[in-house]
Structures are given as C-alpha cells and as structure tokens.
Amino acid sequence: MSESLAARLEATVRRLSGEIGERHFRRAHALDAALGLIHEELDRSGVAATDHHFEVSGRRFSNVEVLVPSRSGASENACIVVGAHYDTVPGTPGADDNATGVAALLELARQLAHERFERSLRLVFFPNEEPPFFPDAGMGSAVYAAELRRAAVDVHTMKCSATTAIDQTASGIPQGFRSCTRTGATSSAS
C-alpha cells in the first residue's frame, strides 16, 4: 500500500468516525455530513456520482451511485455492484463498521471510475443498513435492488450477476468482503 493511499484511507476513517461520529436517521445532520463527505471526496477525484433519493417514513435518504459503463457501453452486459453503507449502529462512531468500507469504496471509485471493463460496475454508498432498518425494506440496498429489478423489467437486459458489500474491513477479510452471485442486488449489514 502506498503511503498516500494509506493516508487517504486513514483520513476518511478519521473524518467519518472522529469528526462526524455516530451517523444514522436519528442523527440526520451527521448522516447528511457523511453524505457530503462522500460527494466531496468523489468531486475532488473527478468522479461523477448520482444521488438516488428515496423516502422512508416521510424522511428522505440517498443512495449514491458511481456508474462505470462497460467497455462496449451495451446495457445487456451483466453488471457488478459493490456497496458500502455510510450509516452506523446507534451508539457507535462506526470506525470499522463502516467508515473503513466507505473509505475502501471511495478508493475503488478513484481508481476504477475512468476504466472500462467487460461488465458495467456500480459502486454504491448506502444509508439505513443498520437496525432498525436492517433487514427490512427501508435499507438503502433494498431500495436500490428494487430499482434494479424494475429497470430489468423495463429494458429486459439489465442483470446484476454479482454483488459485494464492503463492511468492517478493519475486522478481518472474511467479514470485509462478502459477495454473492445472483440476480439483483443483495446486501449484508452488521
């Protein structure tokens, strides 16, 4: 790991867990600050991102998506989704769970956004992955998966063949990368 990469990862984890701290729907200003940090970091790296807004119990939340088109640009290419959640379990600053995942996904975005692969790549930052949302419909990843399913119905071509959640990367590899292969996005939270 280069020093600058290590420094970037550490700076993001420190800002999320130290400056912003506990971030979830009951601390909306902190959740918004985490969202702002994600956009700021992507902007700084010249990476375009789209907010996918949704409402739960009358409150607005955002999934942030970085779409890396496939080499051919054809939508029938199966995509790969890599996600990380930017909320925390209530009562914790969420350094390992999941500032580490956000930092890792930001780095993937920096390094991959301008590449082109056989499959399109969707890097997505999710809110609401922890209780009381987990494991129900208000989770950002569940909303996103529903969007993908609807899109697949519309265009008959889009299919996600793999999803990976980056979670608790400081806690060990087995928990750090969880992946599955199935149609539609799935999620894991811890």
The least CB distance from residue 167 to Zn ion, in Å, is 4
The least CB distance from residue 88 to Zn ion, in Å, is 8
Of residues 31 and 68, the one with the C-beta less far from Zn ion: 31
100 scored as a contact of Zn ion (CB under 5 A): no
The Cα–Cα gap between 70 and 158 comes to 12
87 scored as a contact of Zn ion (CB under 5 A): no
175 scored as a contact of Zn ion (CB under 5 A): no
The least CB distance from residue 97 to Zn ion, in Å, is 4
Q: Exactly one of 41, 65, 96, 167 binds Zn ion (CB under 5 A); which one? A: 167
The Cα–Cα gap between 177 and 94 comes to 17
CB 37 within 8 A of CB 12: yes
CB 83 within 8 A of CB 125: yes
Going by C-alpha positions, the residue among 62, 66, 59 that lies closest to residue 87 is 62
- Give every CB contact of residue 38 below 8 A, 6+ residues apart in sequence: 49, 64, 86, 102, 106, 125
The least CB distance from residue 168 to Zn ion, in Å, is 6
190 scored as a contact of Zn ion (CB under 5 A): yes
Of residues 75 and 190, the one with the C-beta less far from Zn ion: 190
Going by C-alpha positions, the residue among 65, 85, 87 that lies closest to residue 160 is 65
Judged by CB under 5 A, the number of residues near Zn ion is 5
97 scored as a contact of Zn ion (CB under 5 A): yes
CA distances from 69 to 80, 126, 175 (A): 11, 20, 28
Of residues 171 and 181, the one with the C-beta less far from Zn ion: 171
- The amino acid occupying position 126 is F
Q: Candidates 97-105, 132-140, 147-155, 169-177: pick the segment binding Zn ion (CB under 5 A).
A: 97-105
* Residues making contact with Zn ion (CB under 5 A): 97-98, 167, 189-190
